[in-house]
Structure 1
Amino acid sequence: MPEQAAGGRKKQLEATGQPRRIPKQQRGRDRFEKILSVATELIEENGSDALKMSEIVERAELSFGALYQYFPDKSSIIRTLAERFNEQGRRCVEAELANVSSAELLRQALCSIVDQYYDFFRSEPVMRDIWNATQADRVLQQVDAEDMEFHSQRLFDVLIKLWPKCRPEELLAIARMMMHLLAAAVRYSISLGEEDGRAAIALYKKMLPVDIGHLMATP
């Protein structure tokens, strides 16, 4: 069935970037996961820009009604996949920052985080594609912004513990800047070939200050 055959129902759906509903019954969850699995396969084959709801319907052997019952648009599928990948990244950041008790350990933790993120995106072409998609889609930019703020807040918690006499607003600004720079380093590095990418990550780690405290002024 052509994608346009979904008729007026599709036109009534707003591009919110959110799933229409999260199923609770096993049958619904199985269908939900099948849609995401098929979407992942198609993104890996052709990229997220080429992803079409009609192709998902055909490969998943579903009706348009069944698909739109869970996902109103392509953005909602990509957002769901992005949030799942982001959850893995959040666990990595939390684990690395959990036991930081000194400036040197903080630097080591940041180096470990950037290494893990680089390896993750290098080994996951679907996530690499989706990460780029979140930058180009206005609805999906919110996903990236929320994830970045999560990481910034976790780093802020560490900074305020290590430098309690510094102004909180300054520490938060530094935390946000550092996480944005880390993400930019990874994004740039995965755009290069394997050898050049690892060299770029190594250079970023050399640029990290040994003692981040010198960036801050005491009140």
Structure 2
Amino acid sequence: MRKKTSEVLEQPASEPVRRNPTQQRSRERQERILAVATQLIATKGSDQLKMSEIAERSEISIGSLYQYFPDKSSIIRTLAERYNAESRRCIDEALKAVEDGPGLQAAYSGLLDLYYEIVLATPAMRDIWSGMQADKHLLALELEESRVAGELLAEAILRVYPDSDARQVRESAFLIWHLGESTMRLAIDCSPQEGRGLVEAFKRMSLREIMQPAIE
């Protein structure tokens, strides 16, 4: 018995977890579905997105597609959540290092510029936004994302201006971020020159509020 116990103790604590082949295939199929949907949205728009076409181009049956996504809205939601997660990561990374006024201004301005460039380079984002406007559940997702991003901005402002009215700062930050999303949509619907001008105009307007928070 002692020998057996010793042998057990000498064995590695755990072996590398092997991924279930079925799970791996399922993930790969889901990624293929989302890639096809993104391509179709970019070329045709979210309004023209059809489940039957997604299934055909993904080389799966319509029944299999419904096992992954019950409707078009669920696909748009998944894509929006992925974009939101990446956006939130960028915002958090840029703002968490802010310690003073110049740093706050530079970080915020850089985020707006980066976001505009990403939107320009990702045509599907505009049509995903469009698809979200027609679904109240997706609109709620967008609103919540503005709250989260606004809170990250408010935290940075309050670090720089700790004597500010926290409630007013959070309200302003939430509003600024939500209006920023609307500005981006408007900007990409205009010519590149006009769109850039609109982004710069919003940057100037919002920075006046950000850099002069209300004092208690």
TM range (shorter): 0.7 to 0.9
Deviations 1:168-202 (A, max 9, x none): 22221121122123222222211211111112222
Counterpart code for 2:57: R
Counterpart code for 2:214: M
Contact 2:165 2:213 in 1 (8 A): no
How far did residue 151 of structure 1 move?
Answer: 0.3
**SS state at 1:214 partner:** coil
Contact 1:107 1:208 in 2 (8 A): no
Q: How many residues align?
A: 196
In structure 1, C-alpha distance between the alignment counterparts of 2:131 and 2:78, rounded to whole Å: 13
Cα 1:211–1:35, aligned 2, differ >3 Å: closer, same or farther? closer
Partner residue, 1:165: 163
In structure 1, C-alpha distance between the alignment counterparts of 2:208 and 2:98, rounded to whole Å: 14
How far did residue 204 of structure 1 move?
Answer: 2.3
Partner residue, 2:63: 65
The aligned runs of 1:130-209 (5 Å cut-off) are 130-209=128-207
Contact 2:42 2:124 in 1 (8 A): yes
In structure 2, C-alpha distance between the alignment counterparts of 1:51 and 1:207, rounded to whole Å: 37
Partner residue, 1:88: 86
In structure 2, C-alpha distance between the alignment counterparts of 1:104 and 1:177, rounded to whole Å: 22
In structure 2, C-alpha distance between the alignment counterparts of 1:213 and 1:47, rounded to whole Å: 38
TM-score by length of 1: 0.82
Q: Which has the higher mean CA deviation after the structures are superposed, 99-108 or 121-130?
A: 99-108
In structure 2, C-alpha distance between the alignment counterparts of 1:111 and 1:213, rounded to whole Å: 12
Contact 2:116 2:184 in 1 (8 A): yes
Contact 2:105 2:211 in 1 (8 A): no
Cα 1:141–1:94, aligned 2, differ >3 Å: closer, same or farther? same
Point out where structure 1 has 5 or more consecutive residues left out of the alignment: 1-22
Partner residue, 1:35: 33
Q: Which has the higher mean CA deviation after the structures are superposed, 161-170 or 93-102?
A: 161-170
In structure 2, C-alpha distance between the alignment counterparts of 1:129 and 1:158, rounded to whole Å: 31
Partner residue, 1:9: none
In structure 1, C-alpha distance between the alignment counterparts of 2:210 and 2:198, rounded to whole Å: 21
In structure 1, C-alpha distance between the alignment counterparts of 2:154 and 2:61, rounded to whole Å: 47
What RMSD in Å do the two structures reach over aligned CA positions? 1.9
Q: Percent of pairs identical after alignment?
A: 41
**Match of residue 52, structure 1, among 10, 31, 50:** 50
Contact 1:107 1:210 in 2 (8 A): no
Partner residue, 1:118: 116
How far did residue 24 of structure 1 move?
Answer: 7.7
Q: Which has the larger radius of gyration?
A: 2
Deviations 1:47-93 (A, max 9, x none): 11011111111111211221111101000001111111112211221
In structure 2, C-alpha distance between the alignment counterparts of 1:24 and 1:174, rounded to whole Å: 48
